[in-house]
Structures are given as structure tokens and as C-alpha cells.
Structure 1
Amino acid sequence: MIFIGLKTCDTCRKARKALDAAGVSYDAVDIRADGLTEAQIETIIAGAGRAAAINTRSTTWRGLTETERAQAGDDASAVRLLMAHPTLMRRPVIMAEDAIHLGWTPAVQSKLGL
């Protein structure tokens, strides 16, 4: 399992705490400190969808210009946008058993058996 998030994100902290309490092992990737490769972002977009992968309610999104926001219109542009602004990614991203889960909702928790 790969856990992609931010160390400073409250939702990511809650998710990691729950995974740790359940004894789930995972490799943690901090999108700000470690970064993501273009291939990883492409995999996330392909598995979850462009609209789901980009957090349009984030502070980072609100700080973008209209031109930058328009760049999220297709998958290739969305990859470039997320490479330039990794904190736009909806978090956490949990890659487990060939499935990609975004966020830490009750639905995601139940799919992970928590």
C-alpha cells in the first residue's frame, strides 16, 4: 500500500493514525517533501479521474489564475498542473490492491477494511 499525502494535512494525519492503529503497513509519500513523478500522477488521474484528483476547494486552487485553472481541462494538462502545484491533489491518495482511493471518507475506510 502506498499512502500519498502531506505531513501538515489534518485529514492525512487522521488517516495515518487510523492505518497505524489497525496495523496496516504502507509506504508514505509526502507530496511536498518527496514529490511525485509524472507517471504516478498519470496513474492517479487514470484510476480516479481528473475531476476527483484535483481539489478545487483548496487554498492552492483559489490562488490560481483563471488561465491556470483552465489548464486542468484535459488529462495531460492536469498532470502538468499537478506537477507544478502538488498540493492541488485531493488527499490522501491511497493506492492499494490495484485500486486508488482519494480522501478519507467512510466509504474509503470501509473499502480498506477499517
Structure 2
Amino acid sequence: MLKIYGIKNCNSMKKAFDALQAKGLSYEFHDYKKQGIDADTLKIWLKEIGQDTVLNKKGTTWKKLSEDEQARALSSEDHLIEALIAQPSLIKRPVLQTSKGFLVGFDETAYQNLNA
């Protein structure tokens, strides 16, 4: 089964939900704003997806951080994980976990090509 991580009211999430439902695909939704996100999951994402993809530097949450907070988050994996747990809005969304790996961000073509 697919597992999608994100924040329920995000526009990209709504597009992803609509695309999955249009294809009739079942999925589990993990709202990391309400349920949080654990360090082990983030370590896997950082290893398999990469920091530049996981961390949403274009979002307002990142832009609202001070330069010192941004520098600290980027100084080590542990500091980045700490920041992502404290402020899950820093994580790019959606993160879709499939049997073949991960899709990060909403890409209509990639979602259309998904199989159960």
C-alpha cells in the first residue's frame, strides 16, 4: 500500500490526494503536522532522497528562520533532523512512499504513472 506524508490542508497534498483517488489507489495518510515525524523516518529519507529534496527551502517556514537557525539546521544531519521534527512544515510535501521508492513534491505525470 502507498503511504503519503504531509499536511492535510496543503495545496500540493490536495492535488496528490485527488490524483491517487482518480486512479483508485489505496493509501495511508500520515499528517506530520498532527502526528509528528520520527528521527528514524527522517534518516531514511535523508539517505534515500537527499537533504536538498527533503528540506523545503522555498517555503515560508524556512524563510522565517533566522540566518543562524538556517545555518544550524544545515550544519549536520542531527541538527537538520531536530529542525524538521520541531517544524514539520520544513519538509517538502507530499512525500509518497511506494514499493519502488519515494516521490517528493507533486508531479502530475509521475502520479499518473503510478501503479498499485
Shared fold per TM-score greater than 0.5 = yes
Task: Measure, in 2, the Cα distance between the counterparts of 1:103 and 1:62.
Answer: 18
Match of 2:83 among 75, 78, 81: 81
**Aligned pair in 2 of structure 1 residues 17, 110: CA closer, same or farther (>3 Å)?**
closer
Contact 2:42–2:81 under 8 Å retained in 1: yes
Identity among equivalent pairs (%): 28
Task: Measure, in 2, the Cα distance between the counterparts of 1:49 and 1:111.
Answer: 23
Contact 1:52–1:90 under 8 Å retained in 2: yes
Runs of 4+ in 1 over 3 A off after TM superposition: none
RMSD after superposition: 1.5
When normalised by structure 2's length, the TM-score is: 0.89
Flag structure 1 segments of 5+ consecutive residues without an equivalent: none
Residue matched to 2:24: 23
**Mapping 1:1-114, distance limit 5 Å:** 1-73=2-74, 74-106=76-108, 108-109=110-111, 112-113=114-115
When normalised by structure 1's length, the TM-score is: 0.90
Flag structure 2 segments of 5+ consecutive residues without an equivalent: none
